[in-house]
């Protein structure tokens, strides 16, 4: 009797990485080993063919061997839903209640849905460092991840396509995920969450330093006192382009103020036209968020400057990135001043 192949169309097939990881576990074991797992694939029980009949049934049955008729019949009796094995062997009939995947089929699905990581930037030390980090991640996850380098000198359309505001940039599955040299653990966590089908946990905000007179390390993100020449965390030297801050400017009362909740400008002394609150009702958390964004743009700008120092004639791409960063910083400083923050202008 000719068997009709049936493939499971459940949610996990949209994300075959979990099943693939279980296959890898089973393949490392002795031929004939059987694994039993629940629908969520959280735990896997290991057994052999003689023990399987005495074990309570579950959802998945992984078999490190060819699947024969006797095992299929037993699985049907115990109401397993999915069997995954090397291949089918001498099957006369296939239970309608069971769906089968070969190891090869799962590997093909993984290949189709492989997590794609792109390191975007120039041939410079920071981008090279990012490539080293990503390649290390690639070694850990093997077939689940592909890595490529995008040179902005050749593909500057990436800047507008992904709204890249600083380099190096890390794009994962077509979305900009990291700007600057990424932390290895954050990339690893992002990949693991994608494999599990979970949402990525947002990074915690960088707290506004109590003392504005300092510098943020472009390598590890640590905040250092202005007089410190070596980062306290990663021991890297302070970038040459970080200079002493200007004294606080005398600021005349603004004639308008910006509401961070509504993203609107309002006349001085009047309530917000969007949410009807006054400038005094703006929270410290909203102000902190503006400071965080400003600091992020400063770090990105300093990264661009350090790259430009190694180039005789800065490219148009670098100039555009730099101008955009300066514009972003000035915009945030104006917004902060409009809500009563006595902030000094960042000096290039």
**Residue range 158-171: mean pLDDT, rounded:** 88
Q: What is the DSSP letter of 230?
A: B
Dihedral sign (CA 39, 91, 77, 47): negative
Average pLDDT, the chain: 77
Q: Quickly state the pLDDT bin for 197 (edges 50, 70, 90).
A: low
Residue 7, pLDDT > 50, answer: no
Q: Quickly state the pLDDT bin for 70 (edges 50, 70, 90).
A: confident
Contact 121, 130 (CB under 8 A): yes
For 17-43, letters b (16+ CB in 10 Å) and e give bbbbbbbeebeeeeeebbbbbeeebee
Residue 210, pLDDT > 50, answer: no
Picking from 158-162, 222-226, 260-264, which range would have the lowest pLDDT averaged per residue? Answer: 222-226
Contact 45, 74 (CB under 8 A): no
pLDDT number for residue 198: 38
Picking from 117-126, 162-171, 265-274, 312-321, which range would have the lowest pLDDT averaged per residue? Answer: 312-321
Structural domains of the chain ordered from first start: 11-109 (3.40.140.20), 114-196 (3.40.30.10), 214-338 (no CATH)
């Amino acid at each position: 009797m000719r068997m009709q192949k049936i493939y499971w169309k459940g949610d996990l097939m949209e994300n075959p990485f979990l099943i693939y990881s279980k296959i890898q576990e089973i393949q490392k074991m002795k031929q004939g080993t059987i694994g039993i797992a629940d629908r969520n694939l959280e735990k896997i029980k290991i057994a052999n063919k003689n023990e399987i009949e005495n074990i309570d049934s579950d959802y998945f049955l992984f078999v490190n061997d060819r699947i024969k008729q006797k095992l299929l019949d037993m699985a049907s009796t115990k109401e397993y839903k999915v069997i995954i094995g090397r291949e089918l062997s001498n099957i006369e009939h296939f239970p309608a209640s069971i769906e089968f995947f070969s190891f090869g089929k799962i590997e093909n699905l993984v290949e189709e849905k492989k997590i794609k990581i792109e390191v975007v930037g120039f041939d410079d030390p920071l981008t090279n460092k990012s490539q080293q980090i990503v390649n290390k991640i690639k070694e850990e996850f093997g077939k689940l991840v592909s890595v490529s380098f995008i040179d902005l000198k050749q593909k500057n359309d990436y800047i507008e396509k992904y709204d890249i505001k600083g380099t190096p940039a890390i794009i994962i599955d077509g979305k900009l995920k990291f700007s600057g040299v990424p932390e290895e653990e954050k990339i690893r966590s992002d990949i693991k969450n994608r494999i599990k089908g979970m949402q990525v946990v947002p990074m915690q905000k960088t707290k506004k330093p109590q003392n504005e007179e300092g510098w943020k390390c472009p390598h590890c993100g640590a905040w250092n006192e202005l007089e410190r020449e070596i980062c306290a965390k990663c021991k890297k030297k302070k970038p040459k382009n970080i200079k002493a801050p200007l004294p606080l400017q005398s600021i005349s009362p603004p004639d308008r103020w910006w509401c961070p909740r509504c993203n609107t400008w309002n006349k001085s002394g009047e309530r917000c036209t969007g949410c009807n609150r006054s400038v005094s009702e703006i929270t410290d958390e909203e102000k902190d968020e503006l400071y965080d964004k400003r600091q992020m743009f400063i770090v990105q700008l300093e990264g661009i400057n350090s790259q430009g120092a190694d180039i005789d004639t800065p490219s148009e791409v670098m100039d555009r990135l730099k101008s955009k960063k300066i514009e972003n910083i000035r915009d945030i400083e104006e917004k902060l001043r409009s809500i009563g923050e006595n902030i000094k202008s960042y000096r290039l």
